[in-house]
Amino acid sequence: MTSIASRVAPIALVLAALIARPAEAQRRSDTFNWEGRVPSGRWIYLRNVNGEVRVERGTGDRVQVTATKHWRRGNPDDVRITTEKAGDGESVVVCALYDDRARCDEDGYHSSGHWNGDRDNDVSVEFVVRVPSGVRVDASTTNGDLSVTGATSEVVAHTTNGDVRAESTGGPVTARTTNGNVTASMRDLGSTRDLDFTTTNGSVVVEVPASLGAEVDMSTTNGHVASDFPMTLSGRIDPRRLHATIGDGSRRLRLHSTNGNVELRKVP
């Protein structure tokens, strides 16, 4: 005779599976793909509000963009991914627009409606972008980490809530965040005179060529400053603030944090 327990057990497993399925389906995704040519020396501009941005080295001569929407309870149709030419006619702007009134260009968002403030709309967009040699990168998001690796030209990277990692083998880098760490590395400083690396809550670590010549300002409120370079100091020695000249002092380099360490290193 089959016991009551043996009959109940399979029913319980079926119910558990039915309950689990909605939970598994809560996080869904929708993917946008774009591919196009951006000439060497021109820019790919990436604008996001909610989600991670990753830029990697590509192959061939075309930029490849994958933007994946993730959501639990929001409506992915409320978020549009757009691509258009920048003002120079050759650079490309890729944007995640969170409101039908929103617009953006190479200078960023220009409508107060780019984020609708609806807490029930939790749609995030994850960008993965592959860039060929020589293409400049200007990437930003508000809520999410941002990383640029494998770039061979100038890089501008900034977020508000997240870490920033920006690397280039062939051009200057500038990077900033508010709540997160800044890590930057460059083997060529190009002709840019001023380079800025800042955060409020996090550390700042910057790697530059051993041939660096710069007027350097390094400061933190809660942390310490450190440098691999011999310097000519201006003013008194302070473990949290440093103004000095390295080499010929031909450019300005600023590293700042409020709550975190600040370090200037020679690129390996």
What tens digit of pLDDT does each residue of 211-227 get? 999 999 999 999 999 99
Residue 186: pLDDT above 60?
A: yes
Over residues 246-264, the mean pLDDT reads 96
Task: Give me the sheet containing 92-97, strands edge to edge.
Answer: 80-85, 92-97, 43-47, 136-140, 155-158, 173-176, 194-198, 252-256, 214-219, 241-246, 232-233
The number of beta carbons lying within 10 Å of the beta carbon of residue 223 is 19
**Does residue 24 carry a pLDDT above 50?**
no
pLDDT given for residue 119 in this prediction:
58
Q: Is residue 154 scored above 80 in pLDDT? A: yes
Instruction: Say yes or no: 66 and 176 in one domain.
Output: no
> In terms of domains, do 137 and 156 share one?
no
DSSP state for residue 203 in the 8-state scheme: -
Q: What is the mean pLDDT of the chain?
A: 88
- pTM comes to 0.85
Q: Are residues 210 and 260 in the same domain?
A: yes
Please report whether residue 224 resides in a domain: yes
Pair (170, 259) in one structural domain: yes
> 140 and 194 share a domain?
no
pLDDT at 190: 84
Closest by CA position to 162, among listed 183, 136, 137:
183
Same domain flag for 225 and 161? yes
- Write out pLDDT tens, residues 188-246: 998 878 999 999 999 999 999 999 999 999 999 999 999 999 998 887 778 899 999 99
Residue with tokens 């005179």: 193
The pLDDT score that the predictor gives to residue 118 is 55
Q: State the Cα–Cα distance between residues 184 and 197, nearest whole angstrom.
A: 8
182 alpha-carbon distance from chain centroid: 10
Query: Tokens at residue 194, please?
Result: 């001023």
Residue 241 lies in a domain: yes
**Of 103, 124, 144, which residue sits at a domain end?**
144
**Which residue, among 120, 71, 73, 62, has the nearest Cα to 96 in the 3D structure?**
71
| Domain-terminating residue out of 96, 127, 144 | 144
Q: What is the DSSP letter of 77?
A: G
Quick one: DSSP state of residue 178? Answer: S
In a domain, 67, yes or no: yes
Q: Are 72 and 124 contacting, i.e. CB atoms less than 8 angstroms apart? A: no
**Is the same domain home to 160 and 178?**
yes
Asked whether residue 64 is domain-assigned, the answer is yes
pLDDT at 104: 92
Is the same domain home to 166 and 90?
no
Residue 23 lies in a domain: no
In a domain, 1, yes or no: no
Kindly state the tokens that stand for 149.
């690796």
Confidence category of residue 266, pLDDT binned at 50, 70, 90: very high
**Which stretch of 11-15, 65-69, 149-153, 231-235 has the lowest confidence by average pLDDT?**
11-15
Confidence of residue 12 (pLDDT cuts 50, 70, 90): very low
- Same structural domain, 81 and 164: no
- Give the whole-angstrom CA distance, residue 213 versus residue 191: 12
Residues 42 and 133 in one domain: yes
Instruction: Return the pLDDT at 235.
Output: 74
Q: Do 100 and 116 have their domain in common?
A: yes
Token pair for 119: 């807490």
What is the domain extent for residue 81?
A: 29-144
The total of structural domains in the chain comes to: 2
- Residue ending a domain, among 92, 121, 144, is 144
Q: How far apart are CA 235 and CA 63, in angstroms?
A: 48
Q: Is the domain of 257 the same as that of 164? A: yes
Contacts of 93 (CB under 8 A, 6+ apart): 45, 47, 82, 83, 84, 85, 86, 104, 105, 106
